[in-house]
Amino acid sequence: MSDHKWRNTILAGLANYIDAGSIVAGSVALGLWKSEYGLSDGFIGLIGAFSANAISAGIGALIGGILCDRFGRKRIYQYDMLFYAFGMLWLLFASAPWMIVLGFVLVGLAVGADIPASWSLIAEQAPDKQRGAHSGVAQLLWYLGPVAVLVAAYFMKDWGMLGMQILFGHLLLLALALTFLRARMQESQRWEESQAASKGHAWRDNWKQLFSPAYLGSMLFLAAMYGLWNLWAGYNGFFTPYLIEQNHLPAWTATLLPASYFLIGMVSILTIFMTLSDKVNQRLLFGISAVMHIFGMALLAIFGFKLEIVIAHVLIMGVAGGFGAQSFFQLWSAELFPTAIRSTAQGATFAIVRIGLGIWSLAVPTLAAGNFTLLAWILTGFLVASAVIGLIWAPSNQGKSLEQIAGERA
C-alpha cells in the first residue's frame, strides 16, 4: 500500500469531518440562537430541515454527483470547499435568523456536492482488498468532526456566542486549507480510463444505465436501507444536544454525551469495520449492528429520556454505529454502480436520503416537546424497517474489484 493512497483518502475524507462538524456545531448553537432570537420550535425545525444535515446537502449531492461524472472528481472536490467557506461566513457572523438559514443552505450545498466526489475517489483509488478499510477512514473523519466540536463546546460553554463563532471559524479555516491541499491530488485513474475508453462520452452513453432495473433497484435499496436509518441519525446528530437541554439533564451532558457516542463510534469503526469489512460476510456485520440499533433506541422508548437510560443508549448506539448503515452505505454506494455513473448514482441516492430527512426534521422539535415517547417509538420503527431491508438485499463484495462487481451485475 503506497502512502499517497492513504493521503488521498484522508484529504478526500476530510469532507466528512467538516460535514459532520457543521451539523453538530449547529446543534450546539441551537439553544443559544433560540434564546437570542426567540426562535420557535417550528423555526428550529426549519433550520434542521434546510441545514447541512438535510435538504440543502441532498440538493448539493445531486448536482455534485452529476458534475463529478461529467467533468471528473477533482474539479468538484477541490473548489467546493471555497463555496463551503463562503456559507460558513454567514453562520460565523449571523445577526438575524434569516442569516442562519442562508448560511446552512450554502454550507449544505457544498458538503453535499463533496460527498459523491470524495466517496467515489476513495473507492476508485483504494486497493480491491482494502476498499472497506479506506472507506472506514472517511467514516472515522465523519465521527471525528462531532467529537472535536462537542469537546471544544464543552470547554467554551460559558463563552456564549463567541464560543460558537470559534467553532464555525475553525471549520471555515479547514475548508480553505483543504482547497490548497487538494490541489496536489490526482484525478481518479478509473474515471480517466472510463472517459478514454468511450472517447469522453462515457457519462452520456451510460446515463440510461442509471434507470435500468439493476441500478435503479440498487438505488432504491440504498435509499431505503440508509434513508430509514438516517431518520434516526439525523435526529441524533442535530437534535440530541438540544433535547438534553430541553429535558433539563445536567449541563455537561449536552456536549459530552453526544461526543461520547461519536468517540465510541470511532473505536468501533477502527476495530470492527476497518478490520473486518474486507474479510467477513458484510450482511452479517450489518445485521449485528442493526439489532443493536433497535435495542438501543427501544430503551429510550420504554424508559424515557432519563440520564442513566441516555448513557446506556449512547454506549450501545456508538458501538453499533461504527459498523452499521452509514459505513456500509458509503461502501456499497460505490460498489454497486459502474465508474461512468458512480457519482451520479451516489448523489441521487444521497439526495433522496437527505431531503427525506429534511422533511422529517420539520416535525422533530414539536413532536419531541409534545410526546417524546411517541417520537422514540417512531424512530425505533424506522430502524426495524432499515434492518429488514438491509438483511434481505445487502450485498457482500469483500475482496472483489470494482470491475469484477460491475461485470457480475451486468
pLDDT of residue 22: 85
Domain architecture of the chain: domains with CATH: 3-409 (1.20.1250.20)
Give the mean pLDDT of 142-164: 86
pLDDT of residue 1: 44
pLDDT of residue 202: 57
| Tens-digit pLDDT profile for residues 345-399 | 999 999 999 899 888 878 887 787 778 899 899 999 999 999 999 999 999 888 8
Determine which of 101-115, 158-172, 216-230, 248-262 has the lowest per-residue pLDDT on average: 248-262
pLDDT of residue 146: 86
Mean pLDDT computed over every residue of the chain: 88
HEC string for the chain: CCHHHHHHHHHHHHHHHHHHHHHHHHHHHHHHHHHHHCCCHHHHHHHHHHCCCCHHHHHHHHHHHHHHHHHCHHHHHHHHHHHHHHHHHHHHCCCCHHHHHHHHHHHHHHHHHHHHHHHHHHHHHCCHHHHHHHHHHHHHHHHHHHHHHHHHHHHCCCCCHHHHHHHHHHHHHHHHHHHHHHHHCCCCHHHHHHHHHCCCCHHHHHHHHHHCHHHHHHHHHHHHHHHHHHHHHHHHHHHHHHHHHHCCCCCCHHHHHHHHHHHHHHHHHHHHHHHHCCCCCHHHHHHHHHHHHHHHHHHHHHHCCCHHHHHHHHHHHHHHHHCCHHHHHHHHHHHCCCHHHHHHHHHHHHHHHHHHHHHHHCCHHHHHHHCHHHHHHHHHHHHHHHHHHHHHHCCCCCCCCHHHHHHHHC
pLDDT of residue 227: 96
Percent of the chain at pLDDT > 90 equals 47
The pTM of the whole model exceeds 0.85: yes
Q: Which of 89-93, 126-130, 210-214, 380-384 has the highest mean pLDDT?
A: 380-384
Between 25 and 278, where is the model more confident? 278
